[in-house]
Amino acid sequence: MWLFKKNGPSGFSYSSTAEEVTHGIDGSDLTAIVTGASSGIGAETSRVLALRGVHVIIAVRNMTAGKDVKEAILKEIPAAKVDVMELDLSSFDSVKKFAADFISSGHSLNILINNAGVMAIPFMLSKDNIELQFATNHLGHFLLTNLLLEKMKETACETNREGRIVNVASDAHYVTYSEGIRFDKINDQESYSKFSAYGQSKMANILSTYELAKRLKEDGVEITANSLNPGAISSNLFRHMTIVNGLVSTIGKLLLKNVQQGASTTCYIALNPQVKGVSGEYFQDNNLATPSKKARDMDLAKKLWDFSMDLVK
């Protein structure tokens, strides 16, 4: 649609694709982890990073689906460097095993893309007895990031190259619970709203990014942390919403981004040199954006960090 084609300050727009925002970039000396890369924008992000020469670690719960993505990438890009590793973000044990296995592999780590997520699901508890959307979308990535930070710091120091942490959030953070984060009611089934719980998990992604960026700056390490809204995309995230899923299938091509456009902001933050040194920001449509006021509350961000650290311990 012509309405979305106007470029922002970056030179890119709503309509830009992941290939367009990474055109001409050589990532052949970089290694990236992409969570939730078995389909949708995660798979497209992995494909485009591999196209630019990045060694991509596809971190997925469904190993069969992950291997299918790897095979598809290799069929298109025979020289691509792609590995698949098992990761269930709803399980702290799985996250710890993944991090330990990755570190023992000897790989460097330049880019961590926390992309995986579940959306608007019925009330369920994770393997660690925490509401599943908060556990998967926020806590799993929070723990993974903290377990891999030393490896990223080591890589940045050894290569003298900036590390980048990319957290895929959503504008759904505007529809979280009124408290923003329900610290005392994370597991309250009676007042559970699948949409508000999803919004809460996405707000947590943004808040934790701000706090992480602040800590990285205080540590003086060359690693940035940014979050983003990929936009409304026709993907299997809608599979738990029957009516919405039907609408997505029929009119999605007209009103929603395709996966090539949906993955663009992630790839822009991960690879584009325009973002060098930029940290603690929120992006949308390949340009800087501003999230809700509550999502920018640094006191809330610090409280969430401490709360999350207690939970993952």
Distances (CA, A) of 56 to 31, 43, 44, 99, 108: 6, 11, 12, 15, 11
- The residues that bridge with 86 in the sheet, in sequence order, are 60
Burial class of residue 269, CB neighbours in 10 A (0-12, 13-18, 19+) = buried
Dist. CA 47–CA 37, nearest whole Å: 9
Closest CA to 228 of 96, 81, 62, 45: 45
Active site positions, annotated:
192
Give the separation between CA 71 and CA 74, rounded to whole angstroms: 5
Residue 233 β-bridge partners: 257
Which of 29, 28, 30, 33 minimizes the C-alpha distance to 46? 33
Q: What whole-number distance in Å separates Cα of residue 247 and Cα of residue 47? A: 27
Least Cα distance to 303 among 207, 190, 164 occurs for 207
- Give 282's strand partners: 227, 289
- CA 180, CA 19: separation in Å to the nearest integer? 35
